[in-house]
Structure 1
């Protein structure tokens, strides 16, 4: 059965609902997605290598977790659902980072990004993902100009670095210390299009 998605404006207001097959391939149809950056206590970021049959960025390394927000679905609920579907994990400790619009010649997405710390184990979806691995920030920076990563991840990673690169919040318990900050309020509208 085909997936249906909300077509939205820049503020996330619903314009219409359309099949994924119509939305993908038409960058004028903005739709909502959620990303979760999963760090370990060493500050490494979990990446997934997309399956070779995927219509977007096959065989490329991509964001820890990413997926569409279903019609009527709450953003945080979508993030938790995608974590369970893609990595087989449940996390109640998700913290909102930012939102942005990413467009390319294939699609346009209104992205809501969260982060969490999780050491595993992971039981990833082998139909969607070829492999997973933790990467150091330095290694990702060194390989950014090569053909390892999806276009979407490159954009996400550069945005993350531009906002949080100077903040070592991903280490050990630092994330817990920041949870009182408005940046981690859990409100995806807090930094809309920051």
Structure 2
């Protein structure tokens, strides 16, 4: 779905401008997104397998929930909305623990340049995996991976099945989750 997004400068500051998400991706304009990482108290992290029709990284494992923030939409409201849309779970603002903003620049092709600032949250997953309802158009599958297994893959650069975020990003997410266990 094409939607209006806020345009940011290279430092993540709002420029006062908006454009369609498709235009931001075509021209490489920076814009904000949300990432919500779910974890369980027994040391697992929820990953989603991106849908087969996604323009970027189809069928690769990625962050539990991710999405664009609509123009002038409050960040936390966008996170809550995306969680409900993508995995059918209702969370509140108090469930979300913001751990940072991460700059990401990925040139997929001449006409698809993804320059984003990911507002990143952690959230404890209390619902069983089988109770989650994936958004068919966005999510192919959901699965829990142990932190130890995921760390092992990260340390051995076995990421052919995962979206190639920077390893420093993944390492910070793991460290933040481990602090909460």
The residue aligned with 1:137 is 147
Secondary structure of the equivalent of 1:152? Answer: coil
Aligned to 1:104: 106
Q: Is contact 2:99-2:176 (8 Å) kept?
A: no
- C-alpha distance after superposition, 1:53-110 (max 9, x if no partner): 1011111100001000000100000000000000100112111111121112131111
Pairing 1:156–2:169 present: yes
Residues 99 and 148 from structure 1, CA distance in 2 versus in 1: closer, same or farther, beyond 3 angstroms?
A: same
Relative to the length of structure 2, the TM-score reads: 0.84
- 1:30-69 correspondence to structure 2 within 5 Å: 30-69=30-69
Stretches of structure 1 that go unaligned for 5 or more consecutive residues are 172-194
More moved, 86-95 vs 145-154? 145-154
Q: Is the 8 A contact 1:5 1:31 kept in 2?
A: yes
**Structure with greater strand percent:** 2
Given that residues 85 and 125 in structure 1 are in contact (C-alpha distance below 8 angstroms), is that contact kept between their aligned partners in structure 2? yes
Instruction: Tell me what 2:8 maps to.
Output: 8
For 2:148 and 2:59, locate their aligned partners in 1 and report how far apart those are by CA, in whole Å: 22
Report the Cα distance in structure 2 between the residues aligned to 1:135 and 1:14, rounded to whole angstroms.
Answer: 39
Root mean square deviation, CA, Å? 1.9
Relative to the length of structure 1, the TM-score reads 0.79
- Consecutive unaligned residues in structure 2, runs of 5 or more: 108-112
Give the distance between the partners of 2:6 and 2:179, measured in 1 at CA.
Answer: 35
Q: State the alpha-carbon separation in 1 of the partners of residues 38 and 51 from structure 2.
A: 19
In 1, the alpha carbon distance for the partners of 2:44 and 2:52 equals 25
Answer yes or no: is the 8 Å Cα contact 2:35–2:79 preserved in 1: yes
